[in-house]
Amino acid sequence: MESNARTKAAGVCEDCGKAFAVFESEDGDVIPIGSRDGCPCGGTSFHVL
* Shortest CB 17 distance to Zn ion, Å: 7
Which CB sits closer to Zn ion, 16 or 33?
16
Nearer to Zn ion, 9 or 43 (CB): 43
Q: Which is nearer to Zn ion, 2 or 37 (CB)?
A: 37
Q: What is the dihedral of CA 27, 29, 8, 44, to 10 degrees?
A: 180
Strands 46-48 vs 6-13: parallel, antiparallel or unpaired: antiparallel
Provide the binding-site residues for Zn ion, judged by CB under 5 A. 13, 15-16, 18, 39, 41, 43
Distance CA(23)–CA(9), nearest Å, equals 6
